[in-house]
């Protein structure tokens, strides 16, 4: 008898066919998140869960009496209680690598958008305000040849650094828990202390994963160290930033602007002050959101779950469980 998996995401036919060749598949079949109560009621009959938004905690694990593996369609896995998963003796996977280039594209889109005021000036034209040649009040800022500081030099940070140094002649520095000498040698980027990076950079990109240690890593003190002409970019997780401190920094003009793909509360609430700043570009967490990349992520997640249910070690087992 085939093992059973529950899929709480929409999946393309190619992924469905891949799964059904080996397992019995039950799909939620809705772009909205599956209600928690329904998930807890159903999970006991399934051996695997394919998801990206559902909270994987002790409550769910206790309800999932037959659960062997949870496969996350995401690089990040802050929706998972890894300690509880380990204690339960099940496997958990994610989808690194396949989205790196796509997210790096998006990050550079944010940098260019906030620096050259592209969304703001798009509305300027559409609202009929372009009645004469623009002047200093509408000017933006250069990106080429500026200083980019990357906090978190992982795979995506490396790809952004390559775009910045080779494509835009930017002077790239980074701060990381450990030095990445391979990237330093390949791209000529330099390692800086955290404080020096905050003080020197024209653009600061946050790419640190969300952990207990990095929660609100970018806080009031961090923004106070940044230059007044610095643009802050966050494409990691919203809670790595103290959002109230960011709002205060923007209000006091301590920084020049921000490009944000992530927020502490998602979807962002309509009364969030970040939505009122013309020098803040806000995106709905679209780092990997291209049709091609999302399909590849779902294929990778499906491969992971099938490997686990065969009794094999999945390619992308979460590192804390290896």
Catalogue the active-site residues: 237, 266, 285
- Please tell me the distance from the alpha carbon of residue 220 to that of residue 228, in angstroms, as a whole number: 14
Please name the residue that has the structure tokens 């998963």.
Answer: 85
Q: What are the C-alpha distances in Å from 69 to residues 99, 115, 128, 297?
A: 22, 43, 55, 17
- Of 94, 30, 110, 38, residue with least CA distance to 283: 110
Cβ-Cβ contacts under 8 Å for 119 (sequence gap 6 or more) = 113, 281
Helix axes 291-309, 13-20, angle to 10 degrees: 10
Q: Which tokens is 208 given?
A: 């640190």
How far is residue 271 from each of residues 114, 244, 250, 268, measured CA to CA in Å?
21, 13, 16, 9
CA 269 → CA 264, 265, 274, 320, distances in Å?
10, 7, 10, 33
Burial of 119 (0-12, 13-18, 19+ CB in 10 A): middle
CA atoms of 19 and 106, how far apart (whole Å)? 30
């Amino acid at each position: 008898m085939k093992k059973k998996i529950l899929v709480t995401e929409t999946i393309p036919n190619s992924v469905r066919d891949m799964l059904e060749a080996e397992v019995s598949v039950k799909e939620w079949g809705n772009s909205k998140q599956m209600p928690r109560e329904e998930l807890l009621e159903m999970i006991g009959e399934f051996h695997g869960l394919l998801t990206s938004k559902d909270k994987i905690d002790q409550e769910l694990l206790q309800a999932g009496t037959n659960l062997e593996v949870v496969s996350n369609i995401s690089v990040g896995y802050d929706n998972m209680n890894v300690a509880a998963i380990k204690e339960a003796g099940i496997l958990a996977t994610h989808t690194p690598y396949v989205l790196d280039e796509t997210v790096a594209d998006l990050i550079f889109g944010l940098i260019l958008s906030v620096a050259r005021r592209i969304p703001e000036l798009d509305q300027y034209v559409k609202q009929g305000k372009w009645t004469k040649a623009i002047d200093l009040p509408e000017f933006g800022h250069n990106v080429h040849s500026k200083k980019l500081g990357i906090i978190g030099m992982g795979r995506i940070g490396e790809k952004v650094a390559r775009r910045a140094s080779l494509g835009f002649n930017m002077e790239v520095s980074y701060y990381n828990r450990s030095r990445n000498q391979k990237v330093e040698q390949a791209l000529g980027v330099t390692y800086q202390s955290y404080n020096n990076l905050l003080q020197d950079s024209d653009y600061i990109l946050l790419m640190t994963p969300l952990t207990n240690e990095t929660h609100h890593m970018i806080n009031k003190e961090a923004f106070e160290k940044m230059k007044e002409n610095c643009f802050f970019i966050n494409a990691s997780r919203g809670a790595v930033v103290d959002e109230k401190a960011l709002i205060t920094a923007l209000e006091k003009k301590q920084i020049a602007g921000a490009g944000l793909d992530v927020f502490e509360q998602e979807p962002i609430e309509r009364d969030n002050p970040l939505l009122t700043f013309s020098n803040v570009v806000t995106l709905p967490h679209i780092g990997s959101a291209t049709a091609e990349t999302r399909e590849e992520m779902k294929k990778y997640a499906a491969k992971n779950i099938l490997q686990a249910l065969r009794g094999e070690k999945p390619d992308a087992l979460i590192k804390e469980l290896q």
